[in-house]
Structure 1
Amino acid sequence: MSFSLLISFFLLIPILLLLRRRRKPSKRVPPGSLGIPIIGQSLDLLRAMRANTAEKWLEERIKNYGPISKLSLFGKPTVMLYGQAANKFVFSGGGNTIVNGQTQSIRMILGDRNLLELSGEDHRRVRSALVSFLRPESLKRYVGKMDEEVIRHLHMHWHGKQEVKVLPLMKTLTFNIICSLLFGLERGEQRDQALDCFQAMMDGIWSVPINMPFTRYNRSLKASARIQTMLKEIVHTKKMELKQKAASDRQDLISCLLGMVDEDDKQVMTEKEIIHNIMLVIVAGHDTSAILLTFIIRILANEPSIYAEVLQEQEEIAKSKLSGEPLTWEDLSKMKYTWRVAMETLRMVPPIFGGFRKAATDTEYDGYLIPKGWQIFWFSAMTHMENSIFPDPSKFDPSRFENQTSTPPYCFIPFGAGARTCPGYEFARIETLVAIHYLVTRFTWKLCSDNFFCRDPMPAPSQGLLVQICPRKLS
C-alpha cells in the first residue's frame, strides 16, 4: 500500500465515524459499541489475552452489558454470547440460522474451503471425508507409528539434557507426528521448511486484517502461500503414486482423501478443498495438542498427588510390556485416570479461547436481533470456570470427569459440542496418552520458571515452560 493511500485511509476514519453516528440502529440490536471502524475492540481483546486478563475483560463486558453484547472484532461487527444456552445456540446452528464463518484473517490464511468456512451439504461432505480417516477404527492401526515418533523425539531432544523448554519441544513433536501420520512427509529439509513456515503463519491467525508489510497479517499470508505451494507438490506426488498403484490410499490422510470417490467415480473433495483442510488439520492438531501436553507437564510438576496417580497407572502398563514393545490400542484404553487429568487440564486452560460463527439471516436470540452477516463470538473459558457447573472451579480435580454425563451439555467445550465436535478429538487423545506415558515413565522434572502464561492467541507459559529433568528407571 502506497503512503498516499495510507494517508487517505486514515482521513476516511472520521467520515466513517460520522456516518455511523447518523445511522439509527435497531433498538433490538444487543447493547454495546462497535468502536473504531475495522479495529473495533480487537486490540483491546488481544492485549488482554497477552496479559492473561482476557477472562476479566470478558467479565467486565458481561457486567456492563449482560450475556449478549455487540462489538467489532477483526474488521467485522460481532455479537458476543455467553453461557450454556449460548453455547447450545452456537453449536447446534441456531436452527440453521447460524453457519460457519471465521474472521477474515483466518479465512485468508487457511483458505475459504476449509471445514470452518463450509456449511450445509459441503460441510457434511468434507467432514465425513475427514472423519473416515480420523475415526477410532482407522486410527487404531497408527498407534505403533505414533509410539515410534514419540520415542524418537525423546531420544533426540530429552535424553542427556538437564533442562528443556517444554512448549517448543511439544510443538516439534506434534508437528512431526502430523507430518508422519497425516501427510506421509518424511524427515528432512522439506519438513523443516514446512515447520518454519507454519510457525510464521500461526502468528497472524488472530490479527487485524490490514495487509501491509509491517503487520503480522501480511507475514502470515506470505507463510500461508509458501505452505500451500508445498502441499500442492505433495498432493500431486501422492496423486501420481496412487495412479501408478505405488502407494495405498490408507497410508496417510492426504492419500485417503485423494482416494475417495462417490458413486459416479468422481473425487469427493477437490484439490483446493484437500489443501485448505490439510492447513486446518495442521493448525488444529499442532498447537492445541502441544499446549495440552505442556500444561499437563506443568500440572504434574505442581500437583504431586496427581503425578503419583498418573505414574502408577502408566507404570502398571509399562510393566506389562516386553522390552521395546510399542503401546497398543488396548493399552490406551487402560489410561483412564491420565485422560481425566487431560480433560481437567482442558477445562482450566482450554487451548482454544473462543471462536467465530456467522449469522446466515437476521437471527433472534434472547430477545435481541443478530443482523445477517454479523460475526458471533463464543468463548469456552467462562462456562469452564462457572461455580454452578464445576464446584470450586479453581481447584484441579480430575474426578470431575469420572462420570462425564454428570456435566451439563454445552458447558465443557474444548472440542466443541454436538454436531460441531472436533473430528480430530480421538487423534488428540491418542497423541496425548502416548506422549505422557513415555514422559512420566522415563523422566522426572521440576519447574525452573514461574507459572505465568499469556495467550497469543493460544496459552503459552513464560520461557516456554523451562523444566529441569532427570532420567528415571521403571520401579
Structure 2
Amino acid sequence: MTTFLLVSLLLLIPILFLLKRTKQSKRVPPGSLGIPIIGQSLGLLRAMRSNTAEKFIENRINKYGPISKLSLFGTPTVLIHGQAANKFIFANGGDNIVNQQTKSIRMILGDRNLMELSGKDHSRVRGALVSFLKPESLKQYVGKIDDEVRRHLQMHWEGKQQVKVLPLMKILTFNIICSLLFGLESGKQRDQFLSSFQAMIAGMWSVPINAPFTRYNRSLRASARIQNMLKEIVQQKKVERETNGASSRQDLISCLLSMVEDGKQVLTEKEIIHNATLVMVAGHDTSSVLITFIIRLLANEPSIYAAVLQEQEEIAKGKILGEPLTWEDLSKMKYTWRVAMETLRRFPPIFGGFRKAATDIEYNGYIIPKGWQIFWVTSMTHMDNSIFPEPSKFDPSRFENQASIPPYCFVPFGGGARICPGYEFAKVEILVAIHYLVTKFSWKLLSDNFFSRDPMPIPTQGLLIELCSRKLS
C-alpha cells in the first residue's frame, strides 16, 4: 500500500507541474478591470480632456509592462503598444482578431458599418466604398470640393478680423460630405443634418449607460434621426435612378445603390445607411481637426509657413483667375502634404482604436481571452525616439522618403488591409483647403497652444486667430 501511494505521488508530481506550467502560460495580462461597466473609462476620458492621455498610457506601461488588462466602455480590454503591437493588429488576417468597436461606437454608427465587419463581409463593403473613394474616381470631384472651399471662405472668412478655426473647419468638411457623398445641397435639409450630426458624434466615446440626460443617450437619439434622414435620401436616390436614370457617380449613395452582382445589390439598404454614417463621421472629424492643427502649426512656424506659401503661390500663378484646382495641381503640393503628414504624426486625430479577440490569442507571453477588446494607441510609435529622432520637433523632412520609416510605426490612417479607405479623399480635402487659406490669408494665434481630446484634439477656444487678407504676389 505504501509503495502504491509512493508511485502514485511520483506520477502526480509531473502532472501537477505540467498543469501549473500550462496555467501560468495561459494567464491573462496583469492589471485590474476596476469597477464593473465603468472600469478605467472615466480615468481615460479625464486624461484625454486634460491632454494627459499619453501620460495615462505611459503610467500603465511603467506599472504593468508592455501589455496589461483594464476595462474600457463596459468591456474587458487588453492594452498593447509599439511597432510589434501595430503589426499584430493591422497584419492579422482576421481569423483571430476581428473588427469591433466599443459598444457606444457600435450602437451609434450601426452594426453593419465597415469597422464592425470581418472576412468576406468586410471585403465586400470595403470594395464598394473604395470604388467611390479611390484616386481614379476622386479626380472628377476635385472641382466640386474646390467650389465648396471657395464658397465657404467667401461666406465665413473674407472680411473677418477674427475667426474660430475648428468650428468653421467642421462646417466646411460637413458641407463637402453632404455635397459629394450624399448629393445634398445647402438648405434646410442640410442644416437639420448638421445639428443632429453634432449631437451624435459627441457621445461616441462614452460609458454606454443608456439613461436619460447621459451623453450616450443623447447620441443614440441623434443617431436614430440621422439614420432616418439617410433612409429618406436612399429612397430619393432610388427614385431618381428609376425615373431619371441618374448617374451612379454623382455621389456615394448613388454609387453604392448602382452596384449589382448576380441580379442582387452588393450592399443592403442597412449597410448603405450604416456606412454612409461611418464615412460621414470619418470625413468630418479627422479632416477638420487636421486642417485646424496645420493652421495652428503654420502660425507657430514662420519658416514652414513661408515654404508652404511659396509652393502654393507657384501653383496659383499658373491658374487663370477663378479657375479651379485640378488633380494635377494637387500632385505638385508635395511639401504641403509632408507638412500634413508631420502634423498627423505629432497630433493624430485618432488617439487609438479597438479590435476584438475572436478566439483566445497568445501575445507576448500572455493570453488575450476570446471576446475581449484589444486597445492600441497611435502616439506610442509616433513619439518613439528610436523611430523618429527628436520626436517633439516638427520636421516635415521626415516624410521626404516614407520608405525609410519602419512599417507599422506611422499609423494615423491604420495599416495593412484595414487602412482607411477615405485616405485619398481626406488628402484632396486638406490640400484644396490649405491652398486657398495660405494664398488668401495670413494669421496669428489669439489663444494659447493648449488642446484637449474629446476624443479628438480640440484647441483652446476652437483656435481663435486674427486674420489678414493677402493678395497673390
| TM-score, normalized by the shorter chain, greater than 0.5 | yes
Partner of 2:13: none
Partner of 2:20: none
Amino acid at match of 1:384: H
Partner of 2:265: 267
Deviation string 1:248-274 (CA, Å, 9 cap, x unpaired) is: 111000000000001x12100000000
Aligned partners of 2:25 and 2:365 also within 8 Å: no
Q: CA separation in 2, counterparts of 1:378 and 1:116?
A: 15
2:368 to 367, 370, 387: 370
Deviation string 1:184-235 (CA, Å, 9 cap, x unpaired) is: 0011011011011010001100000000012100000000000000000000
* 1:225 and 2:224 are equivalent in the alignment: yes
Deviation at 1:245, TM superposition (A): 3.1
Counterpart of 2:367 in 1: which secondary structure? Answer: strand
Gaps of 5+ in 2: 1-22
* 1:253 and 2:252 are equivalent in the alignment: yes
Counterpart of 1:422 in 2: which secondary structure? Answer: coil
Deviation at 1:78, TM superposition (A): 0.2
Structure showing greater Rg: 2
Q: Which residues in structure 2 correspond to 1:69-84 (within 5 Å)?
A: 69-84=68-83
Partner of 2:429: 431
Counterpart of 1:164 in 2: which secondary structure? Answer: strand
Q: Which residues in structure 2 correspond to 1:156-167 (within 5 Å)?
A: 156-167=155-166
Q: CA separation in 2, counterparts of 1:172 and 1:381?
A: 27
1:322 to 320, 323, 327: 320
Partner of 2:9: none
* Number of residue pairs the alignment of both structures matches: 451
Q: Which residues in structure 2 correspond to 1:337-348 (within 5 Å)?
A: 337-348=335-346
Q: CA separation in 2, counterparts of 1:67 and 1:401?
A: 28
Aligned partners of 2:362 and 2:368 also within 8 Å: yes
Q: CA separation in 1, counterparts of 2:104 and 2:211?
A: 13
Deviation string 1:7-63 (CA, Å, 9 cap, x unpaired) is: xxxxxxxxxxxxxxxxx9986100000000000000000000000000001000000
Deviation at 1:64, TM superposition (A): 0.5
Partner of 2:290: 292
1:443 to 441, 444, 461: 441
* 1:172 and 2:175 are equivalent in the alignment: no
1:403 to 401, 404, 408: 401
Q: CA separation in 2, counterparts of 1:102 and 1:50?
A: 21
Amino acid at match of 1:309: A
Give the structure-1-normalised TM-score: 0.94
Partner of 2:8: none
Partner of 1:113: 112
Counterpart of 1:244 in 2: which secondary structure? Answer: helix
Deviation string 1:293-347 (CA, Å, 9 cap, x unpaired) is: 0000000000000000000000000000001110000000000000000000000
Counterpart of 1:445 in 2: which secondary structure? Answer: strand
1:312 to 310, 313, 318: 310
Deviation string 1:407-461 (CA, Å, 9 cap, x unpaired) is: 0000000000011100000000000000000000000000000000000000000
Q: Which residues in structure 2 correspond to 1:8-407 (within 5 Å)?
A: 28-93=27-92, 96-262=95-261, 264-407=262-405
Q: CA separation in 2, counterparts of 1:182 and 1:94?
A: 30
Change (3 A) 1:25 1:274: farther
Q: CA separation in 2, counterparts of 1:95 and 1:142?
A: 33
Partner of 2:14: none
Q: CA separation in 1, counterparts of 2:145 and 2:271?
A: 26
Deviation >3 Å, runs of 4+: 24-27
Deviation at 1:382, TM superposition (A): 1.1
Change (3 A) 1:25 1:152: farther
Aligned partners of 2:44 and 2:56 also within 8 Å: yes
Deviation at 1:246, TM superposition (A): 3.9
Change (3 A) 1:144 1:95: closer
Q: CA separation in 2, counterparts of 1:136 and 1:202?
A: 28
Amino acid at match of 1:160: G
Aligned partners of 2:104 and 2:216 also within 8 Å: yes
Counterpart of 2:249 in 1: which secondary structure? Answer: coil
Q: CA separation in 2, counterparts of 1:245 and 1:186?
A: 19
What RMSD in Å do the two structures reach over aligned CA positions? 1.0
Amino acid at match of 2:354: F
Deviation at 1:70, TM superposition (A): 0.3
Q: CA separation in 1, counterparts of 2:92 and 2:75?
A: 20
Counterpart of 1:377 in 2: which secondary structure? Answer: strand
Deviation string 1:359-412 (CA, Å, 9 cap, x unpaired) is: 000111111000000000011011100000000000000000000000000000
Amino acid at match of 1:231: L
Amino acid at match of 2:471: K
Q: CA separation in 2, counterparts of 1:43 and 1:228?
A: 29
Q: CA separation in 1, counterparts of 2:147 and 2:422?
A: 20
Gaps of 5+ in 1: 1-23
Q: CA separation in 1, counterparts of 2:25 and 2:333?
A: 54
Q: CA separation in 2, counterparts of 1:79 and 1:245?
A: 52
Deviation at 1:96, TM superposition (A): 2.3
2:417 to 405, 408, 419: 419
Amino acid at match of 2:374: I
Deviation at 1:183, TM superposition (A): 0.6
Give the structure-2-normalised TM-score: 0.94
Deviation at 1:92, TM superposition (A): 1.4
Deviation at 1:94, TM superposition (A): 6.1
Deviation string 1:156-181 (CA, Å, 9 cap, x unpaired) is: 00001000000000000000000001
Amino acid at match of 1:395: K
